[in-house]
Structure 1
Amino acid sequence: MFQDHTYYFNRELSWLKFNQRVLQESIDTTNPLLERLRFLAITSSNLDEFFMIRVAGLRHQEENGIVKYDAAHMDAKAQLKAIDESAKRLVRVQYTYLQHVLKQLEEENIFFVKPADLTSTQLDWLHQYFEQVIYPVVTPLAVDSGHPFPFLANKTMNTVVQIKRAVEESEEDKEVKIAILPIPSVLNRIVEVPTYTEKRYFIYLEDIITYYSEAFFVGYEILKSMTFRVTRDADLEIDEEEAQDLLREMEESLRRRRRGASVRLEVAGEGDEGLLEFILNSLQLKPQDAFKLNGPLDLCMYFGFCDIDGYDHLRYTPFEPCEPADLVGHEEESVFDVIRREDIFVHHPFETFKAVEDFVAQAAQDPQVLAIKQTLYRVSGNSPIISSLIKAADNGKQVTVLMEVKARFDEANNILMARRLEKAGCHVIYGLKGLKTHSKITMVVRREDDAIRRYVHLATGNYNGKTARLYTDCGIFTCNDQYGEDASSFFNLISGYSDPPMWNKFIVAPLNLREKILAHIDEEIECAKRGEEAYIIGKMNSLLDKEVVAKLYEASSQGVKIDLIVRGICTLRPGIPGVSDTIQVRSIIGRFLEHHRLFYFRHGGKDEVFLSSADWMPRNLNERVELMIPIEEKRHKERIVGILKIYLADNQKAHIMNTDGSYRKIVARENPISAQSLLMKVAKQASEKPKLTVIEQMQPMYKKI
């Protein structure tokens, strides 16, 4: 009954709508100006990954004649056509917004200029900079019968030039030639030119190279030029069945990634038709694969620029994560003593991730600790957790780490970290065949009073101190025996040949997570049939598993109220009469990236609450090792429900999905509520008033909601 393809949105088009919501933050005047520029950069970075992975995958399907329909009944060809139209429309809007932001930066005396805009004194400086810094690095590449078209690596920028002899002394001199000038990524993309005034002038590296391009072709004149950027297929193809050594196979795949097939060509301005055709043919692309951009290429360059010194008033007011409320007043105690008394809940980035890093650090130094076991999916390059694990091994503790080397775009860093851990004597597992390990779990085994106690940390986010300051996530520390038993069984399952146990508390994908989700929705349906209050809240990054969506439709048709907080992809269509008219979908886009997965089921007043590493997507439920765990301590359940209520009350950064798949942003003038701003305030107050619980801190704010 709920399988009709008109009930579902296409995954890729839903993702593009998400990126459109990100882009919308660049014109939200409540965001500081440089943060608005940063959102433009985020939009570009998102698009790069989308083309490298999603579009590349659809191209493979189309080229190999694979006819496969998605839930919305679109095959690869139809999806690529729709993506082309939607993505180009998005990019046109993006560059319109960019011009608005750059214009407003001029009011702050920040100017992006061309060489022609400079004074003679500034041009003298620029010429010297070109000769001393740029010229030695750039290597012009001829393209002719003796010099085939060069390989241009993924996401690199280049300028193609058409040249001929300045003085024609023979017929050969009349011949027009083609050359490529690579724009070196090792140099600063944005160069500041001295102005000797309060105004600050900045110029793009490619404009400098183009302006002085004749210096690379002595005796020739430049007829035409065009700056372009190529995006390539970056998905890794790994034959795990045949791989004898997964680590070596990953390293080889990373080398192949740079040479993937071209999937997109970006051109600065309208470009020259002749040069454009030449580049398209050389890269084996079609005319529709070209994106003509009304401005500079690769807006990711603004990430660094947004941190420019002297403009703090154009950025968010710095926020320093607070001490977790559950740890305030216990600074002199061992973290193990605190956890033994009661479970500890932490909410990032509002509460500091250092609590997690300190947990591992204390375990590494504690003579009573016998073993540390941890799963790592994405770690920062200079990770304190990696350092602590190495110290633990040096101190003679048993250290077991599952380092997921298949974590997309973090493969190289994870391989490097795995090598460091192995060298220190840690036992490293590189992942499971056919599955990615995406769960977030740490277990510390400690000897206490001639007994063994297990301390467990379970979370929604990665063990990455850098992203923990930017992503919303949460976790819980516990020494509950049932969680400890499950943790031991979990690590035995992923490190050896153990059969799945009868779990006490853990819900594990791909073993039983899907079934448990469906069972909880079914229980809510039964409550509705009995006339009891039936209510589901689901907060996640993406929702696109067709079986789960169909079950939500069934629940809605029976009168279950469903609030979904889905940051990104959502293939569910709300508001269909008799199918989904009790479902509301909202997306929160703000200062921090919404990342935690939290779930609430009313269950006739039992109020069951879960945190999870998994979104409701086929890959999470079928192809990854994921965890969902119940939160049972009353105060933590109340806190999570309170967090969800705050998100549902947001009327500043929330986008509500319409039945047609479009979104409308809610901006209330009266009683404004921004979930992230409110949660920052909650964390600050709770850390300053430790005698009050977080729930007590929240109560006055609920009255406002």
Structure 2
Amino acid sequence: MNKMYDYPQNFFNRELSWLEFNKRVLDEARNEENPLLERVKFLSIFNSNLDEFFMVRVASLLRKHKKNIDSVDIAGMNPSQQLEKIIEKVRFLIEEQYSCYNELTRLLSLKHIKVHKYKNLCEKSKKYIDDYYEREIYPVLTPMIIDSARPFPLLLNKTLNIAALLKTSNSNAHIFGTIQVPSVINRLIAIPNDENRVDFVLLEDVIKSNLPKLFSSHEVLYSCSYRITKDADLDVDEEDAMDLLETMEESLKQRKWGDAVRLEIESNGNNEYFNEILDIIVDEIEIDDKYIFKINGIIDFTFLNKLGSVKGFDELKYENVKMANIKIPHRTDIFGYIKEKDIFVHHPYESFDIIVDMVKKAAEDPNVLAIKQTLYRVSGNSPIIEALTKAAEKGKQVTVLVELKARFDEENNITWAKKLEKAGCHVIYGVIGLKTHCKILLVVRKEKDKIKRYVHFGTGNYNDVTAKFYTDMGILTADEQFGKDASTLFNMLSGYASPDNMEKITIAPYGFRDKFEKMIRREAENAKKGKKAKIIAKMNSLLDKSITTELYAASQAGVEIELIVRGICCLKPGIKGLSENIKVRSVVGRYLEHSRIYYFYNDGKEELYISSGDWMYRNLNKRVETMGIVEDKDIQQEIKEILDLYLKDNVKAKILKSDGSYEKKQLVENEKRINTQEELVEFTYNKNKSLEKEFSQTLIIPVGK
């Protein structure tokens, strides 16, 4: 580590940098260039992001604060200082969030999409909603009174609840009642009408309007919605776990008991009844005042994702983009095609179908002997899982690493693990102490009395749903060394074999960090010799201290460094004597930027890699990650053109300033607008049309079996 750059003032705080990222998401909700219903979805994403931030990051800091752990972060802040800055920033963002919501609902109303208050409905609509309440809602509700015989109920994480202050006719004593707003009923209740418009009322509003019926022997003095966010980070002792699957199942049950880290409560101004309700809730969940957010409006905007997906109104949504399908040349199959040439796949611009088809084909092909695959996050109805189970049932050797510790997908992955095991797959759960985050697929096939290995390695999960809106890339190859490296990786995962003699795949935590630091230093040495030196890196987050200080040293040596970092960035760019040769930009747009690309000029012998890992301590030291070298010249050129588009983006890109804020580049007169994601749609479509034409004129004979 370069100690001369190792000072707290040279780094941004991780949590505040993440909040800046979520602000960029909120900016997209406010961006008038985005279609109106897409802006609504961005507001929902902002809310979901903030929920997870409190459940994991704020919760972690609170645990340290309560235990009087006074260690400082990369920017020199202790947990207490970080929490103070976080809450200050979050309160500002929430004000912006509600201002944005009010503007969006006003604009939606002009387009004949409206969420009404129950009390403002016409008599006909009220009659419909009242009937709906009696038929669909009332039977599901469980109103609860809190008294000496009935204790305060366990409130599940992130559930929306309604608190009511009640009193009986024969007593002046106040009673606290609570109802969970049922998640099994759609929160947006559509009101039928004969006009060309869409009207909704919120479920909690309907329930509140019927509280006198629910608590029929009481007078309802006051009611309000409230929501509790809990610590949802799992603490699993893998070393002492005899059965990791069983241990994870038990840990998931404990998640509901996590400490409260945030209370959101509806408030239209303090009054004695509100304060009484608030005191009761606070006493029960034991939360500090600073983590209480009094909201003058609707709580929990995650329902807006469904509002943004309302049927019709296509003019208020993104134009449908058809993903390009990678064509297989006439008279060959996928294995024959991969054997001829490496295939580059770029999602969502190119369909995920080719990956699914590869697994399906492998499952059916009598010449395929084995399939090995890592799974981190998969979809709820995964065709990959179906193909793997079919392969096992056909007697093929199927090995699947299912990462049980994929945060918030643990329960889903436990279900898949059990299904795969039942089908006869060999299911493994990774290496003790490490999350397995790499994305790799290996198919072993017998061809003419020889064994041939086919590999897919990439940057994204084997998830056919997220592949439609996450930007990721992968390469399918039959390269012999890649196949050997992939076999070594799986042997390491299943049998703790040493990952030696790897040539084309680098594995974290075994050599990942060293390779990056050596390549950065190599660029610095070339710059010192007066040679051209350049680094371009695209990732989700940059917060590793050692890598950052290496980049500072390279900048001072004269290396040109371009960083495309979607989310957290602890590096401070553009500071004289530290980082004046470093530029950082972030792209937040229609698709979630998720691909990781690392480019090094290397004195003209360019090296290009794609990876599953970011420049974060956890990716470099605490996870199994892969980075594969891109050697095919055509694929190299395509990825370089993609990087060039990101660096030229003047529509969605925002530039990180040395004070931690982000600034959109101002267009000069007559400057061409470049929106990377839009450009890549056209770029990829044209590439595949050209290949389709080429294939139609070329005869390729299938590979021998």
Q: 1:90 to 1:61 in 2, by over 3 A?
A: same
Q: In structure 2, what is the Cα distance between the partners aligned to 1:522 and 1:95?
A: 47
Counterpart of 2:474 in structure 1 is 475
Q: Secondary structure at the match of 2:140?
A: coil
Check conservation: 1:329, 1:690, Cα contact below 8 A.
no
Q: In structure 1, what is the Cα distance between the partners aligned to 2:625 and 2:665?
A: 33
Cα displacement string for residues 632-679 of structure 1 (whole angstroms, at most 9, x for unaligned residues): 111111111111000000000001000100001235373000000000
Equivalent position amino acid for 2:545 in 1: K
Check conservation: 2:40, 2:307, Cα contact below 8 A.
no
Counterpart of 2:132 in structure 1 is 129
Q: In structure 2, what is the Cα distance between the partners aligned to 1:537 and 1:301?
A: 38
Equivalent position amino acid for 2:263 in 1: L
Higher relative contact order (CA 8 A, sep 6+): 2
Q: 1:285 to 1:333 in 2, by over 3 A?
A: same
Moved more, 274-283 or 530-539: 274-283
Counterpart of 1:29 in structure 2 is 32
Is 1:493 paired with 2:496? no
Shift of 1:340: 0.8
Is 1:551 paired with 2:554? no
Equivalent position amino acid for 2:184 in 1: V
Check conservation: 2:328, 2:334, Cα contact below 8 A.
no
Equivalent position amino acid for 1:554 in 2: A
Shift of 1:209: 0.8
Is 1:103 paired with 2:106? yes
Q: 1:315 aligns with which of 301, 309, 317?
A: 317
Is 1:20 paired with 2:23? yes
Equivalent position amino acid for 2:305 in 1: F
Counterpart of 2:123 in structure 1 is 120
Equivalent position amino acid for 2:144 in 1: L
Equivalent position amino acid for 2:368 in 1: V
Is 1:678 paired with 2:679? yes
Shift of 1:292: 2.0
Check conservation: 1:508, 1:626, Cα contact below 8 A.
yes
Counterpart of 1:699 in structure 2 is none
Is 1:451 paired with 2:450? yes
Q: 2:174 aligns with which of 152, 173, 176?
A: 176
Equivalent position amino acid for 1:315 in 2: K
Q: Which stretches of structure 1, 4 residues or more, deviate above 6 A after TM superposition?
A: 691-694
CA RMSD in angstroms comes to 1.4
Is 1:202 paired with 2:209? no
Is 1:617 paired with 2:616? yes
Equivalent position amino acid for 2:364 in 1: Q
Cα displacement string for residues 294-335 of structure 1 (whole angstroms, at most 9, x for unaligned residues): 3211111111222111111111111121023xxx35154211
Is 1:240 paired with 2:243? no
Check conservation: 1:406, 1:431, Cα contact below 8 A.
no
Counterpart of 1:156 in structure 2 is 159
Shift of 1:195: 3.8
Cα displacement string for residues 602-659 of structure 1 (whole angstroms, at most 9, x for unaligned residues): 1111111000000000000000000111101111111111110000000000010001
Moved more, 121-130 or 9-18: 121-130
Q: In structure 2, what is the Cα distance between the partners aligned to 1:274 and 1:556?
A: 58
Is 1:286 paired with 2:285? no
Q: In structure 1, what is the Cα distance between the partners aligned to 2:533 and 2:566?
A: 24
Q: 1:211 aligns with which of 209, 212, 221?
A: 209
Counterpart of 2:349 in structure 1 is 350
Q: In structure 1, what is the Cα distance between the partners aligned to 2:174 and 2:296?
A: 28
Q: In structure 2, what is the Cα distance between the partners aligned to 1:138 and 1:207?
A: 14
Q: In structure 2, what is the Cα distance between the partners aligned to 1:302 and 1:540?
A: 28
Check conservation: 2:328, 2:337, Cα contact below 8 A.
no
Counterpart of 2:698 in structure 1 is none
Q: In structure 1, what is the Cα distance between the partners aligned to 2:427 and 2:453?
A: 20
Moved more, 497-506 or 457-466: 497-506
Q: In structure 2, what is the Cα distance between the partners aligned to 1:50 and 1:5?
A: 23
Q: 1:41 to 1:243 in 2, by over 3 A?
A: same
Q: 1:200 to 1:506 in 2, by over 3 A?
A: closer
Check conservation: 1:92, 1:293, Cα contact below 8 A.
no
Q: In structure 1, what is the Cα distance between the partners aligned to 2:692 and 2:197?
A: 51
TM-score normalised to the size of structure 1?
Answer: 0.96
Q: 1:498 to 1:329 in 2, by over 3 A?
A: closer
Is 1:229 paired with 2:227? yes
Q: Secondary structure at the match of 1:362?
A: helix
Q: 1:267 to 1:332 in 2, by over 3 A?
A: farther
Superposition pairs for residues 355-504 of structure 1, below 5 Å?
355-504=354-503
Q: In structure 1, what is the Cα distance between the partners aligned to 2:27 and 2:296?
A: 18
Counterpart of 1:628 in structure 2 is 627
Q: In structure 2, what is the Cα distance between the partners aligned to 1:332 and 1:282?
A: 69
Q: How many residues in Structure 1 have an aligned counterpart in Structure 2?
A: 686
Superposition pairs for residues 656-695 of structure 1, below 5 Å?
656-666=655-665, 668=667, 670-690=671-691
Q: In structure 1, what is the Cα distance between the partners aligned to 2:482 and 2:418?
A: 30
Counterpart of 2:63 in structure 1 is 60
Check conservation: 2:268, 2:297, Cα contact below 8 A.
no
Equivalent position amino acid for 2:239 in 1: E
Counterpart of 1:70 in structure 2 is 73
Check conservation: 1:653, 1:667, Cα contact below 8 A.
no
Shift of 1:241: 1.1
Shift of 1:174: 2.1
Q: 1:572 to 1:379 in 2, by over 3 A?
A: same
Moved more, 205-214 or 15-24: 205-214
Shift of 1:119: 1.4
Equivalent position amino acid for 2:336 in 1: D
Q: In structure 2, what is the Cα distance between the partners aligned to 1:152 and 1:112?
A: 27
Check conservation: 1:686, 1:692, Cα contact below 8 A.
no
Check conservation: 1:650, 1:675, Cα contact below 8 A.
yes
Shift of 1:268: 2.2
Q: In structure 2, what is the Cα distance between the partners aligned to 1:666 and 1:355?
A: 37
Check conservation: 1:95, 1:293, Cα contact below 8 A.
no
Of all paired residues, the percent bearing the same amino acid is 47
Cα displacement string for residues 233-292 of structure 1 (whole angstroms, at most 9, x for unaligned residues): 110010111110000000011111122111001112346222122211211111111112
Counterpart of 1:697 in structure 2 is none
Q: 1:200 to 1:497 in 2, by over 3 A?
A: closer
Q: In structure 1, what is the Cα distance between the partners aligned to 2:184 and 2:53?
A: 25
Q: In structure 2, what is the Cα distance between the partners aligned to 1:635 and 1:193?
A: 55
Check conservation: 1:653, 1:666, Cα contact below 8 A.
no
Q: Secondary structure at the match of 1:577?
A: coil
Moved more, 8-17 or 257-266: 257-266
Q: In structure 1, what is the Cα distance between the partners aligned to 2:149 and 2:179?
A: 17
Moved more, 268-277 or 674-683: 268-277
Q: Secondary structure at the match of 1:461?
A: coil
Check conservation: 1:686, 1:693, Cα contact below 8 A.
no
Q: In structure 2, what is the Cα distance between the partners aligned to 1:391 and 1:121?
A: 54
TM-score normalised to the size of structure 2?
Answer: 0.96
Q: In structure 2, what is the Cα distance between the partners aligned to 1:693 and 1:86?
A: 55
Cα displacement string for residues 493-543 of structure 1 (whole angstroms, at most 9, x for unaligned residues): 110031221212111100100000000000000110111111000000000
Is 1:522 paired with 2:496? no
Equivalent position amino acid for 2:429 in 1: Y
Gaps of 5+ in 1: 695-705
Counterpart of 1:50 in structure 2 is 53
Shift of 1:60: 0.5
Q: 1:277 to 1:331 in 2, by over 3 A?
A: farther
Q: 1:502 to 1:425 in 2, by over 3 A?
A: same
Counterpart of 1:700 in structure 2 is none
Q: Secondary structure at the match of 1:135?
A: helix
Shift of 1:111: 1.4
Cα displacement string for residues 202-233 of structure 1 (whole angstroms, at most 9, x for unaligned residues): 11111111111111111221111121011001
Equivalent position amino acid for 2:284 in 1: S
Q: Secondary structure at the match of 1:295?
A: coil
Q: In structure 2, what is the Cα distance between the partners aligned to 1:322 and 1:430?
A: 34
Check conservation: 2:430, 2:494, Cα contact below 8 A.
no
Q: In structure 1, what is the Cα distance between the partners aligned to 2:104 and 2:472?
A: 31
Q: In structure 1, what is the Cα distance between the partners aligned to 2:337 and 2:434?
A: 36
Counterpart of 1:651 in structure 2 is 650
Equivalent position amino acid for 1:319 in 2: V
Q: In structure 2, what is the Cα distance between the partners aligned to 1:692 and 1:641?
A: 24
Check conservation: 1:348, 1:473, Cα contact below 8 A.
yes
Is 1:79 paired with 2:82? yes
Q: In structure 2, what is the Cα distance between the partners aligned to 1:560 and 1:692?
A: 42
Q: In structure 2, what is the Cα distance between the partners aligned to 1:691 and 1:103?
A: 47
